[in-house]
Amino acid sequence: MKANYGYMDGSGEYFITIDTDLCIDCDHHGCVDACPEKLFEIITDDYDDEVSAIKEDHRKKIKYDCAACKPAGDRPPLPCAEACTPGAITHSW
Amino acid sequence: MTEVKVKEFWRWKEYNWHDENKDWKGAETITAGVDVGSVSSQVVIMVDGELYAYSNMRTGSDSPDSARNAMNWALEDTGMALDDIHYIVGTGYGRVNVPFANRAITEIACHARGGNYMYGPSVRTILDMGGQDCKAIRCDERGKVTNFLMNDKCAAGTGRGMEVFADLLAVSIEDVGDLSLDVEEEPEPVSSTCVVFAKSEATSLLREGWSKKKVLAAYCSAMAHRVVSLLDRIGVEEDFAITGGIAKNSGVIKRLEGELKINSLKSKHDTQIAGALGGALFAKSLAEKQRKKGA
């Protein structure tokens, strides 16, 4: 399942997509510790699978929470995407 | 002093229903789904996997009370009591506040499962246009979610936005859709990014002499446009179905179908009960799982 966490408003679309079909097989969930803002958590989803998700209280402000990892100009690799060995995490902006 | 009674144009009809021809007493599994949404609450009761009763009412300021009221109304005149139900799933915004639920499941999973029951296994894309959010869901032939996206940051493209317009124009919420289609020429949509901006834009248009129908057409068109951009992100695969209260608004649906160039599936069931229906179906699977474990 592709779970899109975030929102769209007049300024653009801000979604972090987690492909839970890939996430399901990960045994270390590096994203949880890699994110400096601690956006990620491990949940048991509706189908009883343990997967990574964006915490509820961050979902409506991820544009701002992720801002530190997305400087203008040269953009370094995103810590969450880099730590995700199955390649399950993508950002829409 | 004379009290002025203000008519609430946004207020939609609340109702309950049960199948009088069905005898639930000999049933093996009775389950229920309780969908406590931000604007409306529904309860669906299923007897051996078949729809038996449901209720649909406005959510109050207290989620547990709303859940209890909706459940009591669904049970009304059935002879069934809460204790007769084997497994209950809570869903919607207030899912964790359903005091008698055995488990809480997200409305995304429940809408996919409910949509699969209502529209059949061929449905691949479900758009739930709810009271205060909009969910675009892709699912497989079993009603399992494969991709989803929810926008609940603002009221644009939601039922609450439509209620604001019904009140502003003093038009019954149930007439909005048909009236909006009764225009000679389709106007430019109003702001689709914010209900507050759309409302002030509509007020200006009324002052310019636009008819109510034309303003409604402009808002329904904006709403359809807004939702299409949400659907574009996950991609629309046929068959396509719409659930939630806005699915009853022909003005939005016709314009949405026009933009997507796809006709949405129709169901004999009420589109507002999809989430609770999905909850009741999940409850059936969970009750059977629990029974197997106990055996």
Return the pLDDT at B295. Answer: 67
Which of B192, B202, B200, B131 is CA-nearest to residue B171? B202
Which of B142, B194, B197, B233 to mutate to probe the A interface, most A CBs <10 Å? B233
Three-class DSSP labels, B135-152: EEEEECCCCCEEEEEEEC
Per-residue pLDDT 10s for chain B (295 aa) are 666 666 777 777 888 999 999 999 989 999 999 999 988 999 999 999 999 999 999 998 898 999 999 999 999 999 999 999 999 999 998 999 999 999 999 999 999 999 999 999 999 999 998 888 889 999 999 999 999 988 767 777 788 888 888 888 888 888 989 999 999 999 988 876 677 888 888 888 889 999 999 999 998 998 898 889 889 889 999 999 999 988 889 999 999 999 999 999 998 889 999 999 999 999 999 999 988 887 6
CATH number for the segment(s) B15-114+273-294 = 3.30.420.40
Comparing C-alpha atoms, which of B104, B106, B7, B13 is closest to residue B58? B13
Nearest CA in chain A to B227: A8
Which residues from A are below 8 Å from B138, CB to CB?
Answer: 2
How many CB atoms are located within 10 Å of the residue B248 CB?
19
Beta strands in chain B (DSSP E): 15-18, 30-36, 40-47, 50-58, 87-91, 103-104, 125-129, 134-139, 145-151, 240-243
The pairing of strands A12-19 and A89-91 is antiparallel
* Secondary structure (DSSP) of B20-77: TT---TT-S-EEEEEEE-SSEEEEEEEETTEEEEEEEEE--S-HHHHHHHHHHHHHTT
Extract the tokens encoding B70. Answer: 């909706």
Could you tell me the residue ranges of all domains in chain B? 15-114+273-294, 124-264
A4 contacts in chain B (CB < 8 Å): 147-150, 233-234
What is d(CA A13, CA A21) in angstroms, rounded to the nearest whole number?
Answer: 23
CA torsion sign for B242, B246, B247, B252 is negative
Per-residue pLDDT 10s for chain A (93 aa) are 999 999 888 788 899 999 999 999 898 899 999 999 999 999 999 999 999 999 999 999 999 999 999 988 888 899 999 999 999 999 999
Least CB-CB distance to B151: which of A3, A8, A47?
A: A8
The closest of A17, A14, A32, A42 to A80, measured between CA atoms, is: A32
C-alpha torsion angle, residues A55, A59, A64, A67 (rounded to 10): 60
How many CB atoms within 10 Å of residue B266?
Answer: 12
pLDDT reported for residue B134: 87
Return the closest-CA partner of residue B278 out of B104, B152, B146, B26: B104
A2-91 adopts what CATH topology? Alpha-Beta Plaits (3.30.70)
CB pairs < 8 Å spanning A and B: 44
Contact A60, B153 (CB under 8 A): yes
Q: How many CB atoms lie within 10 A of CB B237?
A: 14
Do residues B177 and B183 touch, judged by C-beta distance below 8 A? no
Please indicate if any CB of chain A lies within 8 Å of the CB of B149: yes
d(Cα B257, Cα B189) in Å, to the nearest integer?
A: 16
Q: Sort out which chain A residues have CB atoms less than 8 A from B144's CB and list them.
A: 1, 47
CB contact under 8 A, B105 and A46: yes
CATH number of B124-264: 3.30.420.40
**Do the first three CATH levels of B15-114+273-294 and B124-264 match, i.e. the same topology?**
yes
Contact status of A85 with chain B (Cβ, < 8 Å): no
pLDDT of residue B38: 86
Q: What are phi and psi for residue B224, nearest 5 degrees?
A: -60, -45
Q: Inter-chain contact B154–A4, Cβ cutoff 8 Å?
A: no
Are the beta carbons of A1 and B147 separated by less than 8 Å? yes
Q: Is B262 on the interface with A (CB under 8 A)?
A: no
Residue B60's pLDDT is 86
Cβ–Cβ gap B230/A8 under 8 Å: yes
pTM for the predicted model, two decimal places: 0.88
- Name the residue in chain B with its Cα closest to that of A46: B105
Which residue in chain B has the smallest CA separation from A16?
B149
DSSP B238: S
Of the candidates A16, A15, A43, the one whose C-alpha atom is nearest the C-alpha of residue A29 is: A43
Which chain B residue lies closest to A11 (C-alpha atoms)? B193
d(CA B166, CA A42): 42
